[in-house]
Amino acid sequence: MFNGADGQYSDNVIKLARPKAKERRSLLIPAEKPQTIVWSTDRNLKFTSCSGDLTVLGLRPGEIEQAEIDLYDYFHTASNEFFPIEAHLLSLQGESSIYNAEWMERHFHCQTHPQRDGAGNIIGVTGVAVMAAARQATVEAERKQRDENAREMLLLNQNLTLRLFSAQETERQRIAQDLHDTLGQTLTGIQLYAQAIITQPKGVTKAARSAAEAIAKCGQEVHHKIRTLTHSLNPPLLNELGLLESLRDLATNWKLLHPGIEYSLDFHGDLYELGQFVDITIYRVVQESLTNVARHSGASRVNVELRQMTSGHSPSGTILLAIEDNGRGMDFTCDSKGVGVSGMKGRVMAVGGVLELNRAAGGGLRVEAWIPVL
């Protein structure tokens, strides 16, 4: 069928003619194997059947018959002078017609013929549309080019995202180093001065000694918080001992901060040497998910599972990361799920993976990341 997506008809490429036998044969025997669509209408031009590869027309099998629409509905026009409709009207008068038409960026050679009953009465129209082989090849080439362009754009986006996250990790390391070297040393100095006042045997009042003890205690607490922050910004074990030990260390520190939440960590398969970007991606997704569990879920239990999956005959397979809690879950009807979730999805997509959020089987939230291992 033949109107464009914008509702404009390509009348300039449609030519109505009475067929000659030689022309008819040449149209029906193309050099290659183009797509062919056959349809029929009753005398009111309502579709009674349609077959062939209807996908080239943007249709599904049985769609136009089930909808009980006619040519006027299909072409969105009431004009009997529109060439495809005029061709059908001529066939209802006993004449066959040939015309060419453009539809969905494809070129078709078309014919209409009277459809008669056993007594020779015209009861409808039979139509045939053959997609031109050359145009079909062009369309296929254009589709492949679009697919290739999309793949190249996806790879470019992944590369840019990886560079962005790499720059972020470098900046996190710099900030962590500055906190440790500058602020950490300053706090150590403050604690030493306070301790000197506390241990001074003479010349220190009780009030001054109490103040020094308070300063030393505050310094110790701030020092601990800075240490936790620097480890969060730049997990030291990730480069030294690898992903699994870093996750165990993360779990240990997290349980100290949230003793009321039961925590389990399960590893399955060969999870070593996954690559620097995969390691830091998994670590950050777990870190962000645990932060969300503590802040928003109200959960009493959380499980982190890291598993190597086998896909087909690939020896490397895919890594499944799943973080599941039994909390209140998430409102999946809300379009915005927060910056943290967007960041996790961006990280996983950057390494060629997919991250999904679903309701856990027993309530709560399940975060699943599927990450290919190169």
- Pair 373, 316: CB distance under 8 Å: yes
CATH of the domain at 335: 3.30.565.10
Q: Can you give the pLDDT at residue 22?
A: 40
What would the mean pLDDT of 91-106 be, rounded to a whole number?
A: 84
> 190 and 115, same structural domain?
no
Same domain, yes or no: 289 and 325: yes
d(CA 145, CA 138): 10
360 and 243, same domain (yes or no): yes
Quick one: pLDDT at residue 362? 74
If asked whether residues 259 and 356 sit together in one domain, one would say yes
What is d(CA 38, CA 108) in angstroms, rounded to the nearest whole number? 12
- Residue 101 and residue 162 in one domain: no
234 confidence band (pLDDT: 50, 70, 90): low
Secondary structure (H, E, C), 46-109: EEEEEEECHHHHCCCCCHHHHHCCEHHHHHCCCCCCCHHHHHHHHHHCCCCEEEEEEECCEEEE
pTM over 0.75: no
Q: Are residues 214 and 244 in the same domain?
A: no
- Whether 138 has a pLDDT exceeding 80, the answer reads no
| pLDDT over threshold 50, residue 60 | yes
Domain assignment of residue 4, yes or no? no
Q: Which domain holds residue 372?
A: 236-374
pLDDT at 357 over 50: yes
- 220 and 251 in a single domain? The answer is no
26 and 52 part of one domain? yes
Closest CA to 233 of 282, 287, 194: 287
pLDDT score of 114 more than 70: yes
Do residue 241 and residue 358 come from a single domain?
A: yes
Q: Which among 128-142, 160-174, 354-368 has the top mean pLDDT?
A: 354-368
> ∠ at Cα 212 (207, 216), nearest 5°?
150
* Domain-ending residue, one of 131, 163, 196: 131
Residues 254 and 325 in one domain: yes
What total number of domains does the chain contain?
3
